Structure 1
């Protein structure tokens, strides 16, 4: 199968996923496979929502839409034109997928296929509905995918390389279990935002998307703010108030109540607006419904500090972002070439 074959199939997949919208889902009879897969996808969206309490319909549809916008001819060309694809020895690549947000492992899935390798996939117990249907859809488009995509329920066996995503704890297990095999093993990372104090309320409001989308469960979600010395949070709280309905989600509310009780019993100083707590803390990874913050005096010194800890940071978010940073509101809109942990997955796969 050529790289052009893969690209054309992924474009069709993008068109298929783009039909599913929150306000009004309409079936497009010109899209390949709709007679067989349209209703199936609607059922799997509903099943994913009922199976995982964190996967509400808005977030599942958001993920599908992001993938639809990513899988365009232009984006696939920009992504893949930087590599030389030539006949290579076919390998079997195992993927251990995370399940913190919908379709979080799809980029690895697609990357292995376009590089001409076979897939063995171990799904997360939290996200078992959508990826298998996408695999079915690709097999419908081209039967040559049939023997290239395999899902396993037990431990991965019979693979030449592995891509595994998990926590710091599971990473230690992965490093031991997959020892001796080429691997990409991803650990905990968090994203941080730098506030200068010059932002308007409208600009700060956009940052709410980076904080609250997927309930803050993704590694690209902002879990910590860096603010100027003596920063007043009034404008920030007012700017993000449009997200206040998040407290009506039971799992989020339970975490809010629990973490607030723990903080109060420990007599920690908090800033609280009724759906988000701010706690001054040097760590990166804040609990659900909590945002850590730290004060700084010199932004150049802060940048040096963050550089020293870049192995713990997924994104640095700023209103006026440079090419190494992400703009407010854009963390959950990554491009195909925005690799997790800044590890080039395609380069890794082409050099197996």
Structure 2
């Protein structure tokens, strides 16, 4: 397959995904394979929550729309024009995928196939259905992908490279097990937001998207706030009120009740609005339904501190308070060229 052939197949996939929204699913006449795949995908979206309670239709639709917006000719060209993909020696790349949010491993899947490699995929037990369905659609659009996509049922064997995502504990296992293979091993990371008290209500409301999307389960979700000394949290809580409906999801509510009880029994000082607790804590990793916060004296010192902790941070959100920060509400909409952990996957797949 030529690069253009592969790109066109993913563009068709993007068009297919664009039909599925929380507002309603509507077939478009120019989309390939709707007669075979459309109704089945609607059914799968509705069934996904029975496979994983965190994968509500709302969250799945958001993931699908995000990928439909990413998989355009313009975006693919902008991303790939920086690389020479014309002389790739085909390899088999083992992909060990996480399952914390819907299609969290899709970028690795896309990267491997667009480079011309074979993808040997080990799915997470928490996300067993969405990617195989999209793989079937790709194969329908371009039959040669059938030779490039393998879903492993048991032990991974006969591969050249590894991209594995997991917790800090599983990463240690991956590093030992795959020590003889070129690899990208991703560990746990968290995202943070820096506030200075000058944020508008609209910006703080957008920050709620960074906190609550996917119930806070993603590494791009904001789990920690840095605020100036004397910061008043009232505007923050007022903005968060727009997301109060999250408490009606049983799994989230159970986590809220449990984590709040643990904090209170430990005599921690909390701020609480009935669906979110915030707690002063030096850690970046807060539990579901909670956000940690920490005071800072000045931005220069904070910037230096965060540079020292960059291996634990995925994204930084602010109103341009620090270099390379992301605007409020944008953490879950990365561009194709925004690599996890700032590790260029395409370069790894080309030079190894």
**Under a length normalisation based on structure 1, what TM-score does the superposition of the two structures give?**
0.99
CA contact (8 A) 1:223 1:286 kept: yes
1:47 offset after TM fit, Å?
2.1
CA contact (8 A) 1:47 1:129 kept: no
**Residue equivalent to 1:345:** 345
**Residue equivalent to 1:138:** 138
Deviates more, 1:338-347 or 1:27-36: 27-36
Take 1:155 and 1:46, find their aligned partners in 2: how far apart are those partners? 31
**Under a length normalisation based on structure 2, what TM-score does the superposition of the two structures give?**
0.99
**Residue equivalent to 2:49:** 49
- 1:164-183 equivalence runs, <5 A: 164-183=164-183
Take 1:306 and 1:124, find their aligned partners in 2: how far apart are those partners? 31
The superposition leaves residues 155-184 of structure 1 with CA deviations (integer Å, 9 ceiling, x where unpaired) of: 211100010000000001111111110000
Take 1:332 and 1:202, find their aligned partners in 2: how far apart are those partners? 17
The superposition leaves residues 67-114 of structure 1 with CA deviations (integer Å, 9 ceiling, x where unpaired) of: 000001110010000001122221000000000000000000000001
1:48 offset after TM fit, Å?
1.3
**Residue equivalent to 1:289:** 289
Q: Does 1:227 align with 2:227?
A: yes
CA contact (8 A) 1:280 1:294 kept: yes
**Residue equivalent to 1:23:** 23
**Residue equivalent to 1:195:** 195
The superposition leaves residues 29-54 of structure 1 with CA deviations (integer Å, 9 ceiling, x where unpaired) of: 32001111111111221221211000
Take 2:48 and 2:156, find their aligned partners in 1: how far apart are those partners? 24
Q: Is the partner of 1:279 in helix, strand or coil?
A: strand
**Residue equivalent to 2:102:** 102
Q: Aligned in 2, Cα 1:232/1:188: closer, same or farther, shift over 3 Å?
A: same
| Aligned residue-pair number | 352
**Residue equivalent to 1:90:** 90
**Residue equivalent to 1:73:** 73
- 1:108-123 equivalence runs, <5 A: 108-123=108-123
Q: Does 1:255 align with 2:260?
A: no
Take 1:321 and 1:2, find their aligned partners in 2: how far apart are those partners? 43
Take 1:88 and 1:234, find their aligned partners in 2: how far apart are those partners? 55
The superposition leaves residues 287-314 of structure 1 with CA deviations (integer Å, 9 ceiling, x where unpaired) of: 0000000001101100100000000000
Take 1:321 and 1:19, find their aligned partners in 2: how far apart are those partners? 38
CA contact (8 A) 1:52 1:126 kept: yes
Q: Is the partner of 2:147 in helix, strand or coil?
A: coil
**Residue equivalent to 1:210:** 210
CA contact (8 A) 1:270 1:278 kept: yes
**Residue equivalent to 2:12:** 12
1:147 offset after TM fit, Å?
1.2
Take 1:293 and 1:210, find their aligned partners in 2: how far apart are those partners? 15
1:322 offset after TM fit, Å?
6.2
1:323 offset after TM fit, Å?
5.9
Take 2:321 and 2:259, find their aligned partners in 1: how far apart are those partners? 32
Take 2:303 and 2:52, find their aligned partners in 1: how far apart are those partners? 38
CA contact (8 A) 1:321 1:327 kept: no
The gaps in structure 1 that reach 5 residues or longer are none
Q: Is the partner of 1:146 in helix, strand or coil?
A: helix
The superposition leaves residues 190-231 of structure 1 with CA deviations (integer Å, 9 ceiling, x where unpaired) of: 000000111122211110000000000000000000001011
Take 2:33 and 2:91, find their aligned partners in 1: how far apart are those partners? 29
Q: Is the partner of 1:327 in helix, strand or coil?
A: coil
The gaps in structure 2 that reach 5 residues or longer are none
1:321 offset after TM fit, Å?
6.2
Pairwise CA RMSD = 0.9
- 1:329-340 equivalence runs, <5 A: 329-340=329-340
- 1:304-343 equivalence runs, <5 A: 304-320=304-320, 324-343=324-343
CA contact (8 A) 2:194 2:321 kept: no
The superposition leaves residues 240-285 of structure 1 with CA deviations (integer Å, 9 ceiling, x where unpaired) of: 1010010111000101100111111110000000000000000000
